[in-house]
Structures are given as structure tokens and as C-alpha cells.
Structure 1
Amino acid sequence: MAQAKPSGECRPRGRPQLRSDEETRQIVFDAGRHAFAVDGYAATSTEELARRAGISTKTLYRLFPGKAALFEAMCADRLERLLSAVDLQGSDEVDIETGLRAALLACADLALDPEVVALQRMVLQESAAFPELAANFYSNGISRTVRTLAGWLRVQVKRKRIAIDDAEEVAGMLIGMVASAPQRAAIYGGMPLPSRKQIERRVQTCAALFLDGCRAA
């Protein structure tokens, strides 16, 4: 006669709880970032992406209509997460120089993020065959970053802290000063991305160059 199990023990019943679609999407994004950066866009198949994410191709196609849609959603998600962490310090208590340094540092952290730079390198390599990749990366990344900084600059203009005419144009110039040269060195020259101290020093120099010419009287 078999012994009865203690009353405190209970066996799990039914099917195990499944992941939500959002959790699965994040797993696919992680797999996609790695696969695209290492193997390139053209060489990465949807089957390989599904295998890396541990899901079926049917599930992958249910979440994303195709590889291009997955890439676009992946870029948007990554940049959304980075931008959501950006604090541009626009309060009245923060002086213009401190606020500008914080804003430029946030933009530099985004533009010089290793995953973002790896994606940009891949986009440049694949853009001739897949021009939609460059368009998606530009609209979901570069343009959004410029618009975010431009919004902060407009607030400073309203508070009469600086005097500029075109906030978006100036925002693009500032981001270019802070990030373009280190990006090019990493993508084309194989140089390492700058350290945190190097980025902070670059931000400080760019803020001083801008404010010395544009500080409101």
C-alpha cells in the first residue's frame, strides 16, 4: 500500500504560465541586436532569429510581420528605453551651464551607447541593399534625439537664458560636436569608444563653446 503524501505537499496542475507577448518581444529584440551586429542584416534569417530567441517562426511572424518590421521595432524599443532615462534638467533651479552639460551628456550616452554604435555600423554596411534600414534608424534614433534636445533648448530660449533662432538646427550641431567624431573613429577607424571621463570632458568643452557664443545678455 502506497504511503499518502503529507497534506502540505501539492502538485502543480495545468499548463505552466506562458510568457507575455511583451516579454517575448524583448527576448527577440535581445537576440536580434546580437545577431544583426555580429552577422549583419542580410545574413540573419528569421529562422535564425527565432532559434536564438527560443521561439517558433510562427510566433515570430505573429509578433512581427517580417525582418524589417522586427528591426524597426527593435531600434525604436532600444532608443525609447534610452530616451526615457534622459533627464534634461530643465527646472528653474538648474543654471544654464549645468543643465546644458547634463542634456549633452544624456545625448552623448545615447549616441555613443555600444549597442547603438554597433547597429549604426551594421546599418551603414547594409544600407545599399536595404535603404529602409537607414531610414528607420534615422527616424527612430537620430531625429528623435535631435528633437528631444531641441525641446530643451526652446525652454531655455523662453526663459531668456540663450538666444538662438532654430532650435533643431542648433541641437543637431551640438550633438554633432559631442558625438560625431567618436562615432566615426569607432565605426570607420576601429577605435574604442571614449570612456566616461572622456565623454564628460568633451561635453564640458562643447557646452563652453556654445554658451560663450550664445548666452543671452
Structure 2
Amino acid sequence: MAPAKSSSECRSRGRPPLRDDGETRQIIFDAARHAFAENGYAATSTEELARRAGISTKTLYRLFPAKAALFEAMVADRLDRQVSDVQLKGIDHADIAEALSTALLACADLGLDPEVVALQRTVLQESAAFPDLAVAFYRNGIARTVAALARWLRVQVKAERLALDNVEEAAGMLIGMAVSAPQRAAIYGGVPLPSRMEIERRVRSAAVLFLDGCRAPTA
């Protein structure tokens, strides 16, 4: 005769495994990105966010006490996945133009990512009513990307591969050349985002222009 199972074993059978808060946050972030992109910030309720994430509103409020806090955390999480790469990529390239192109490509991968562009479009559309959204996006997105590229540039200056007086200013200029124009065209003009080949061509052109300039040689 088989031994009887304990009551705790009977209760645990079929019970879904518990999810930790970190995993639940990621599920909420994914649901929020799609909801905000589809409906906008103001029109997306916390109840809708909880429903899409498959959780209760009580759980949502426990992790994020306000919708604004969720939006800021979602933006920070999305950018965290890529922004740290900027200071790591390209350092080992022997050719500084190739190294700079690789670092800029990491910035472009972030700034021209369709989800990031959709978030920025949402921020611009609703920033008048919700000015904190623009602050959160700037602080967690634009400013952090510039700072990450500036750190990379500072490494190159220290290695005497570049000579720059102001790495933060240079980082902003580089991102402006490589990312901002196609980003604005997509957000304001409805122009499709560039293909991977077009992005790579653009960052290489920006790197060469930055390193060599475009002044015609003197006679």
C-alpha cells in the first residue's frame, strides 16, 4: 500500500510557482510599453495596465504607487538594457574611426529603437498635461545616453587617442549627428525609421565628420 501524501504535498500540487517581484515588474513593463504606445499615457488606466499584465491592481500599486512612477521605472528599465553598452563597445578597436562608429552605433540602437521612439512620441504628445513625463524621459534616456558616450570618450582622451576639451559637449554633438535627425523625422514627419544598413552608414559618416572635419584643404 502506497504511503499517504501529506496535506502540504496535496496543497502544493497544481499550485502555480510563485513569481518574484523582479519578474512581475518585467511583465508589467512589457504590458505598459504596449499600452502607452497604443492608447497614450492619459487614456491608459491602472486597471488596464493590471489586466494586461495579468495581476491585481493591488499588486500593481504595491510595486508602483502611481502611474507616473511606473512610467519612469519602465523608461529606465528599457534604457538600462542598452545604455551601458555605450561605454563598453568599440574600446578594443585599433582604428579610432571604427571604435567611434561602434560606440555611436550602440547609441543609435537605443535612440532609434522603435519602442523607444514610440515612448518619446507619447511623451511629446502628452508633456503639456504631464510635464513630469518629459523630465523622466530626458533624465533616464537622453541625458544618460550622452553621459555614457561621454564616459567612453573620456577613456579615449585618457589613452591619447582623442584630444577633446569638453567630452560632454562632444558626446551631445555626436548623438545629434548620428541619431537626432532620423529620430525627429520619425516622430514629427511620420518618416519610417532607417534600416540597419542606413543607420550603420550614418554613424560611420558622423564619426568621420567628427574626426576629420569637412574643411577643404588649403592650396
Match of 1:118 in 2: 118
Aligned to 1:22: 22
Partner of 2:102: 102
Q: Distance in 1 between matches of 2:99 and 2:126?
A: 37
1:157 counterpart residue number: 157
CA distance in 1, matches of 2:166, 2:174: 12
Alignment of 1:141-156 (within 5 A): 141-156=141-156
- Structure 2 distance, partners of 1:77, 1:202, is 27
User: Amino acid of the residue matched to residue 204 of structure 1?
Assistant: R
Using the TM superposition, give the Cα deviation of residue 162 of structure 1 relative to its aligned residue in structure 2, in angstroms: 1.5
Tell me the SS of whatever aligns to 1:88.
Answer: coil
1:191 aligns with 2:191: yes
Q: Cα 1:156–1:85, aligned 2, differ >3 Å: closer, same or farther?
A: closer
- Partner Cα separation in structure 2 for residue 197 and residue 66 of structure 1: 40
Deviation of residue 95 (structure 1)? 2.2
Cα separation, 2, equivalents of 1:153 and 1:79 = 20
Distance 1:43 1:67 in 2: 11
- Aligned partner of 1:77 in structure 2 is 77
Q: Distance in 2 between matches of 1:26 and 1:82?
A: 16
Please give the per-residue CA displacement for 1:137-165, whole angstroms capped at 9, x wherever unaligned. Answer: 00001000000000111111112222111
Rounded Cα–Cα distance in structure 2 between residues aligned with 1:160 and 1:84: 23
Q: What displacement does 1:85 show? A: 4.3
Quote the residue 1:204 is aligned against: 204
Distance 1:210 1:111 in 2: 19
SS at match of 2:187: helix
- Displacement after TM superposition at 1:36 (Å): 0.5
Q: List alignment gaps of at least 5 residues for structure 1.
A: 6-10
TM-score, normalised relative to structure 2: 0.89
RMSD of aligned Cα (Å): 1.9
| % identical equivalent positions | 73
TM-score by length of 1: 0.90
CA–CA distance in 2 between the matches of 1:148 and 1:85?
A: 8
**Structure 2 unaligned regions, length at least 5:** 3-8, 215-219
What are the superposed Cα offsets for residues 20-43 of structure 1, whole Å, 9 maximum, x if unpaired?
Answer: 111111110001000111100000
Which residue of 2 is the match for residue 171 of structure 1? Answer: 171
- Return the offset for 1:13: 4.0
